[in-house]
Structure 1
Amino acid sequence: MSDVHDAGDASIPLLTDTLVPGNALLARAGAQGTMAAPAAAAAPAAATAAAGAMPAGAPGSHALDALDADALVERMRGRCMTWLTGEGRSVIEARCAAAVQEHSHWLVGQVSREIGLALEAQLAGWVKAAVNEELAARAGRGLSSGGV
């Protein structure tokens, strides 16, 4: 299986396709050639449902259901990978950038608060030491100039 999704691949049903055995109104046009008129298609589908029999080779058989499921899984995997390598990557990058930016702002705020609290405690000691040094210097100048 390839990683590349082929949007034009008619063998893989779309999510909008209804896979109902015996109902030609809901069947895919590509699987049955051309679509019959709604009234003409409804009659055989009603007859099949009333009889309780499934037409031979109908998409409802167990083997075809497993193949349809595998095809759907592969198609969805291809679409997911295409989205993740294209538009999805941009979305993821934008969300990651926003998360990193938000975390950076929070971290700057936390560090600023911690530094502020540490400086607040240190600043009081530094101011007291500077005032004491200045008072001692003034007292030393006053003694030397007043005694001479």
Structure 2
Amino acid sequence: MSDVHDINDASIPLLTDTLVPGNPLRAVTPLAQTFAAEAPAAVPAPAAEDGLFAHDADALVERLRGRCLTWLTGEGRNVIEARCNAALQEHTHWLVGHVSREIGLALETELKGWVRAAVREELAARSGVPPESGGG
């Protein structure tokens, strides 16, 4: 596959391609026309700080606060709980592996002493000599 873009192949546009012919800065696409049709013709300036826009902002904040709290007590709680459970499970697996390695290393050291003591006891029992004290 070649890294060279064939300008006659219009199946995959590149970032350098002009998707709307003409001046790209003045391009009007169907999506831009839709937004222009929905946009208000003029935005009135607020008369005072406590005017219409301050009231609208307070109402918007209150509605968003309500939606956030509703989400956090409903679907959001389930999302948070699932993520916490996944994190707890992951940490549990890590902790079990870490503790298992630590116990394995400690047992390896102890096991050497236990085997030496058992071999001494067995040799002493076979030869009739009492085993040496010390060991493990």
TM range (shorter): 0.5 to 0.7
Deviations 1:122-145 (A, max 9, x none): 00010000000000000018xxxx
Of structures 1 and 2, the one with the larger relative CO (CA 8 A, separation 6+) is 1
What does residue 109 of structure 1 align with? 97
* In 1, Cα distance between equivalents of 2:125 and 2:46: 102
**TM-score between the two structures when normalised by the length of structure 1:** 0.56
Q: Are 1:140 and 2:93 matched, yes or no? A: no
Q: TM-score by structure 2 length?
A: 0.60
Structure possessing the higher radius of gyration over alpha carbons = 1
Runs of 4+ with >4 A deviation: none
Q: 1:75 aligned to 2:101?
A: no
Q: Which runs of 5+ in 1 are unaligned?
A: 1-23, 28-44, 142-148
Alignment partner for residue 39 of structure 2, among 12, 15, 26?
A: 26
Aligned sequence identity (%): 71
CA RMSD of aligned residues (A): 2.5
Distance 2:89 2:47 in 1: 54
Ranges in structure 2 where 5+ consecutive residues have no aligned partner: 1-36, 130-136
For the residue of structure 1 that corresponds to 2:119, the secondary structure is: helix
Any idea what SS the aligned residue of 2:78 has? helix
Distance 2:45 2:38 in 1: 14
